[in-house]
Structure 1
Amino acid sequence: MYFHHSNEMWNEFPDLVAGALFVEGVTANVGVTDRLATFHAIAEERLAGSPEGEMPEIQAWRRTFSKMGLKPTQYRCASEALLRRFRQEKSLPQLHPLVDLCNAISIAFAIPIAVFDLAKISGDLEVRHATGRETYLTFAGETEHPELREVIFADGAGQAHARRWTNRQSGLSAVREDTRSVLIVAEAMHEAASSDVPKLIATLAAELAAVWSVQARTKVLSCSSPRFDL
């Protein structure tokens, strides 16, 4: 099994910097509250300086969404949506220790992070344009079909595990109580992405080692080295 972006995606979005992390041995019976507070404080400090919409990381994704033909204030990248909620509510919902940790790191870096339960993915996972025949399971249990040419995370069985690229993940491969193996993907487009994404991935790997005592495999992807073998 491997993860990659299609050649077409790299050609259309040459500013993309993507980081991937694979880890086994995740459980739900750990505490991360103190660790979350550290990253929440970083996000709070950043938001005190400027709203999320003015952050370079978010502005870059807004430009990307516009390029994809999407209204960026209607469809927000995951990190902007989280930052917006955090600014308004001063907290984020607690779902699963790993998801909570990834969300906290996401708002600290203002970079979207996707977490996939590998047991629910069939074959390889590719970020590509949809054909219109793929299926997407919402968190409400409804089945949708991504639009033709929409950017999705698609597996070998034609299941879309995320719609509108970094906008919304699928309920199918969401992390649950019984999740053990995961693929984590962080993607950025801003000017400092080439240094920020590796830093984010290293931070996440260190947190995984500290909380779960597991060793993650990581890779920063590029157009010249686009494939991450799991």
Structure 2
Amino acid sequence: MFFHHADEIWEKFPSLRAAAIVVRGVSGAKKEAVDIDAMLADTAGRLRTAPESEWPSIQAWRQAYAAMGFKPTQYRCAAEALLRRYRKDGALPRFHPLVDVLNAESMNAGIPIAAFDVAHIADGITVRAAVGDEVHTTFKGESEHPVPGEIVFADAAGQAHSRRWVYRQGAASVVRDRSDVVLIVAEALHEDAMADVTALCARLRDRASELGLSVTEETLLTPENRQLEFAPAGVTV
């Protein structure tokens, strides 16, 4: 299996830097190991100093959305949406041990992080412009077709596992209690993206260890290194 960005994405967004990590044993994640309160407190302190809209990592995504023809305040990247909700509500909803940790890390870094159940991905994921016949399954169980040209996370079966790049994931590959092999992707576009994504990748490895998970494949994606290859679910690594 694989994860990569199409050449057209690198050409249009040359500042892109990303981390792709595969973790296994997710169904046995140690729920008691989820301790994100200190990180949330740190994030709250940063938000009191400057709202999320002023963070360089968020500003870079806003510029990217404007370049894609979307109104940045209508379609916010996942990290900005989480930060905005947390700033208003003062709490982070809990869903799953791994997802909760990833949401907290995403907010603290101001970098969108996606997590996909590998068992529900056909062959691999390419981040590319949509043709328009891809299918995106919403969390309400509805099927949508992305607008042609819209950036999606697409697999070989034509499933769009996200819409508008890092705006919204779909339900087809959402991480659930029974999920065992998960692909994690973090993407950044700002000036310090390489340093920040590298540091975030190290933190995610530590978090995975705390949860009792195994990191079996990982890479930092750059214009010189554009693809992660990994074993499918059900294969011992």
CA distance in 1, matches of 2:209, 2:133: 39
Q: Sequence identity of aligned pairs in percent?
A: 46
1:205–1:216 contact (8 Å) kept in structure 2: no
Is 2:41 the counterpart of 1:30?
A: no
Partner of residue 200, structure 1: 200
| Deviation string, structure 1 residues 79-126 (Cα, Å, up to 9, x no partner) | 000000110111111001110000000001010000000000011210
SS of the aligned residue for 1:182 comes to: strand
1:6-45 alignment runs, 5 A limit: 6-27=6-27, 30-31=30-31, 35-45=35-45
The one-letter amino acid paired with 1:152 is: V
Matched residues in 2 for 1:129 and 1:34: separation?
Answer: 36
Q: Is the 8 A contact 1:28 1:96 kept in 2?
A: no
CA shift for structure 1 position 193: 0.6
Output the CA distance in 2 between the equivalents of 1:181 and 1:116. Answer: 8
Matching residue of 1:105: 105
> What amino acid is the match of 1:19?
A
- In structure 1, the partner of 2:91 is 91
**Residue in 2 that maps onto 1:160:** 160
What SS does the corresponding residue of 1:101 show, helix, strand or coil? helix
Q: Which residue of structure 2 aligns with residue 214 of structure 1?
A: 214
Secondary structure, counterpart of 1:18 in structure 2 = strand
RMSD: 1.2
Unmatched tracts of structure 2, length 5 or more: 231-237
Q: Where does residue 57 of structure 1 map in the other structure? A: 57
- The 5 A counterparts of 1:141-152 are 141-152=141-152
Structure 1 residue ranges, 4+ long, deviating more than 3 angstroms after superposition: none
Q: Report the equivalent of 2:122.
A: 122
| Alignment of 1:81 onto 2:81 | yes
Count residues with an aligned counterpart.
230
> TM-score by structure 1 length?
0.97
Amino acid at match of 1:188: A
CA apart distance, 1:224: 1.5
Deviations 1:122-181 (A, max 9, x none): 112100000001000000000000000000000000100000000000011000110000
Amino acid at match of 1:179: S
Unpaired segments of 5 or more residues in structure 1?
none
Q: Kindly indicate whether the alpha-carbon contact (under 8 Å) linking 1:109 and 1:200 is maintained by their aligned counterparts in 2.
A: yes
